[in-house]
Amino acid sequence: MQNPDIIIIGGGLGGLTAGARLAKAGRKVLLFEQHSVPGGCATTFRRQGFLVEAGLHELDGLDATDLKTTIFRELDVFDKIQFVRLPEFYRVVTSTTDLVVPDDSAAAIEVFVKAFPAEEKGIRTFFKTIHALRDEVDRLPLNRNIMKLLYPVFPMLFPKLALHNQRTLGEFIDGIITDEELKLALVANYPYYHDDPYTLSLLYFSLAQSSYYRGGGHFIKGGSQRLSNHLADFIVEHGGEVMLNSKVTRIVVENGRAVGVAVRRRQDAEEAVFRAGTIVANAAVPLVVEMLPEPERGLLARRVAGMKPGIAWLSAYIGFRRDISSLNNRAYSTFFMGDGQASLKERALSNRSGFDQRGFAFVDYSRIDSGLGAEGKSFGVITTVDYIEDWEGLDEEAYRRKKDEVARMLVRRLEEFMPGISREIEYLELGTARTVRRFTGNPGGVATGYANVPGQSGTGRLGHRSPVPGLYFASAWAAPGGGFTGAILGGWMSAGEILSTKSGDMT
C-alpha cells in the first residue's frame, strides 16, 4: 500500500477492531501481523480432525446496554458471525457445594439465597453493588475535559465509584459475606480476570460480572478465528491491507514523533520501512518499549515502570471420541475447588501451588452447538491459572515431557468429578503460558495485559495515547483492560481517539 494514513502493529482483537473502525471512517489502514493468521489469542487451529479453540471460553454481554453490540453492528459482525448463548453462567463445585448459577441476576440471587439463606443481605448487596458500578461507569462522560470539570462533584454524581474505585474484590466480599463457601461460589470465575481476589480490582470484576448477568455468556459458533477473520476481511473490504507473516522490528521516530515502522517479512531477507501519520500498537506494551529508539524508549519505559503484568492461563485441549453430553455434566463451564481450598484465601493460594492442587475449570463445548469438534465427537478444555516460571529453563524435550505429565494429571483430576471421562479422550494437548508467548509475543504469555488491580484499572489504566506523539495503544495492555471485551473496546476507543484528534496526526 502506498502512503497509508495508519499503520497497526499486530492483528489481535485490539488491532483488528481499531483497524476496522478507522478503515470504515475512510482512513487508509495498513496492518502488520507477525503470525500467519490474524487474531492473536482469538484463534483456532486443527488437530486430528478437531477444530481446537485456543482461547475463548465465553464472551460477556451483547445485550442492548453493551457497547460491543454497537461496535459489532457498525462492523457488520452480526451479519457474518453467529453467537451461541450459553445455557447458564457457570457451575461451581466445592467440597460441600455444587451449584449451577444462572446468567440472570434475579434467578442467580434465588439460587444463592436458597443455598445460603443466612447470607441473603450480603448476596443482595453483592448484586446491587456490581450493577451500580457498571451503571455509573456507563454514565461517565467519555470526554476527558468534561470529566475534569466534574471532579469537585464526582462523589455526589458517582457515589459507588467514589467509594469502591480503589477496593479489591476480596476486601469487598469479606465486608459483606461471612460464609467462605458462599464467597467461593459467588466469585468462582474470578481466575478469568486475575489470580488473586485480594488484589483484583472490584471495579474491573464488577464491570465484567455485571455484563455476564445482563447479557449472559456467549461462544462464537465455529470458533473465535471467525471473528478475527471477519475483522481482517472488513479492513480489506474498506480499502485497507492486512499483511501476515510480517514482524515489526522498530518504530521509526523523527523529531520526537512516531512516523513509521521497520518490518521484516518472513520471505524477505531485508527489512523494509513503511511510513504513516499515525501508528497504533496492538502488540504488548512492553514489546513496544523495545521497538522505540532512545529517548522515546526511556519515556515510555518510565511511564509503565512498576506496572504489574496480569495472568496467563494453561489449557488442556481435549478431543472426545464421542459427544460427551451423555456423561451428565451439568454445565458448560464448571469451576472445581479441591481439598485445601475451603476459603477464598486458600483458593487464591492454590494458584501458586503445583498443578495437582490448583483450582481448575472445565469448559464442555458439547453443551452447546459450538461448531467445534468433528462429526459425532466433541471438544473440551481444562483450564487453570499458569505462570511462565513453571515452563522456563526446559529444553524442548523436557518441556514436551512436562506438558504431557501435566495434561494427564489434569485429566485424572477431572476424572474424580466426572468418572469415565478419560476413556472418551482421542486427542489431548497442553497449551501453556510459553505457548501463548511463542505465538503472540506477549511477555510471560500474559493474555490480560497489565494486571487488573486497583491503580491499574479504571482511571488508573494506561490510556490509548502513548507519551510519544503519533503513537497509540489498542490492546489488552491499555484501557479498559484484558479479555475479548477489553481488547475490542480498547481498539474501538483508541480509533475513536485518533479520529477525534485535531492536531494533524493524519498529515
> CA–CA separation, 455 vs 211, rounded Å?
22
Q: Is the CB of residue 443 less than 8 Å from the CB of residue 308? A: no
Q: What are the phi and psi torsion angles at 59 (to 5°)?
A: -120, 130
Choices 51-59, 128-136, 319-327, 454-462; region in contact with ligand FAD by CB under 6 A: 51-59
DSSP 429: E
Q: Which of 28, 68, 247, 413 lies at the binding interface for ligand FAD (CB under 6 A)?
A: 247
> CA–CA separation, 342 vs 183, rounded Å?
10
> CA–CA separation, 46 vs 224, rounded Å?
13
> CA–CA separation, 469 vs 98, rounded Å?
53
> CA–CA separation, 139 vs 134, rounded Å?
9
Choices 33-41, 102-110, 335-343, 368-376; region in contact with ligand FAD by CB under 6 A: 33-41
Q: Sheet containing 257-265: give its strands across.
A: 246-254, 257-265, 272-275
Choices 19-27, 32-40, 179-187, 414-422; region in contact with ligand FAD by CB under 6 A: 32-40
260 binds ligand FAD (CB under 6 A): no
Amino acid at 18: A
When the beta carbons of 10 and 222 are compared against ligand FAD, the nearer one is 10
Q: Nearest CA to 448 among 405, 481, 488?
A: 481
When the beta carbons of 33 and 195 are compared against ligand FAD, the nearer one is 33
452 binds ligand FAD (CB under 6 A): no
Choices 123-131, 252-260, 479-487, 496-504; region in contact with ligand FAD by CB under 6 A: 479-487
CA count, 13 A, side-chain hemisphere, 5? 18
Q: Nearest CA to 134 among 213, 55, 189, 56?
A: 213
User: Taking the complex as a whole, how short is the minimal distance between the CB of residue 357 and ligand FAD, in angstroms?
Assistant: 20
220 binds ligand FAD (CB under 6 A): no
358 binds ligand FAD (CB under 6 A): no
495 binds ligand FAD (CB under 6 A): no
Q: Which of 184, 253, 280, 283 lies at the binding interface for ligand FAD (CB under 6 A)?
A: 283
Q: Which of 216, 454, 470, 482 lies at the binding interface for ligand FAD (CB under 6 A)?
A: 482
Q: Which of 35, 134, 164, 358 lies at the binding interface for ligand FAD (CB under 6 A)?
A: 35
Q: What angle do CA 261, 54, 263 make, to 5 degrees?
A: 10
When the beta carbons of 104 and 290 are compared against ligand FAD, the nearer one is 290
> CA–CA separation, 280 vs 287, rounded Å?
13
418 binds ligand FAD (CB under 6 A): no
Torsion of CA 456, 457, 458, 459, to 10 degrees: 0
Q: Is the CB of residue 269 less than 8 Å from the CB of residue 78? A: no
Q: Which of 5, 33, 103, 429 lies at the binding interface for ligand FAD (CB under 6 A)?
A: 33
210 binds ligand FAD (CB under 6 A): no
Choices 39-47, 72-80, 368-376, 464-472; region in contact with ligand FAD by CB under 6 A: 39-47
The C-alpha cell of 485 is what?
471485551
Q: Nearest CA to 473 among 205, 251, 200, 265?
A: 251
Rg (CA), the chain: 22
324 binds ligand FAD (CB under 6 A): no
14 binds ligand FAD (CB under 6 A): yes
Choices 8-16, 138-146, 353-361, 393-401; region in contact with ligand FAD by CB under 6 A: 8-16
The C-alpha cell of 261 is what?
515502522
307 binds ligand FAD (CB under 6 A): no
493 binds ligand FAD (CB under 6 A): no
When the beta carbons of 182 and 388 are compared against ligand FAD, the nearer one is 388
Q: Please work out the total of residues on this chain that contact ligand FAD, with binding judged by CB under 6 A.
A: 39
Residues that bind ligand FAD (CB under 6 A): 9-15, 32-35, 40-42, 55-59, 247-248, 282-283, 287, 313, 315, 436, 440-442, 447-448, 475-476, 482-485, 487
